[in-house]
Amino acid sequence: MKLFILTRRSLLKMCIGAGTMAIAGINTTANAVYQIKRLHSYMQDRITGVYNADKKFALRASQDNPQVQELYRKYLHEPGGHISHEYLHMHFADKSAPIIALQKANKLNNPGANVFEEPTYPYEWVQ
């Protein structure tokens, strides 16, 4: 008993299908490689531009900048101190507990929740 009958026509169909898939795979891979090379080239140009612009500045370190030194001298007093930490660092708190509680209770008022309940295309209205 034969499970699969292989004729010339079915062999030709399989070869054409396999060749098509191989060409599509090679094309996809080549496109991905091209995009990666393009991104790498862009990033190299960007890095080079930033470094070249940075070389033009006389003061390249922030601690050498007279404005930063004056800011610390007048207002912040010392680097890493309490006042500088207070003004220059962000503190975040998780305030999502009430929203999660409303979601669990199914009481969250979401005006856009039923946007997709009605058919979006006119031909879907006909039953």
Whether 36 and 66 map to the same domain: the answer is no
For 94-115, write each residue's pLDDT tens digit.
Answer: 998 988 888 888 887 766 666 6
Residue 40 has a pLDDT of 92
Per-residue pLDDT band at 60 (split at 50, 70, 90): confident
Whether 65 and 52 map to the same domain: the answer is no
Evaluated on CA atoms 29, 35, 40, 41, the torsion sign reads: positive
Domain of 98, in residue numbers? 59-106
Q: Is the pLDDT of residue 44 over 90?
A: yes
CA–CA separation, 24 and 30 (whole Å):
10
Whether 37 and 66 map to the same domain: the answer is no
- 84 Cβ partners below 8 Å, 6+ apart? 72, 76, 77, 78
Whether 47 and 69 map to the same domain: the answer is no
Rounded to two decimals, the pTM is 0.38
Q: What is the tally of structural domains in the chain?
A: 2
CATH of the domain at 64: 4.10.260.20
Residue 127 has a pLDDT of 52
- Rounded to the nearest integer, the mean pLDDT of the chain is 84
Whether 15 and 41 map to the same domain: the answer is yes
Whether 40 and 63 map to the same domain: the answer is no
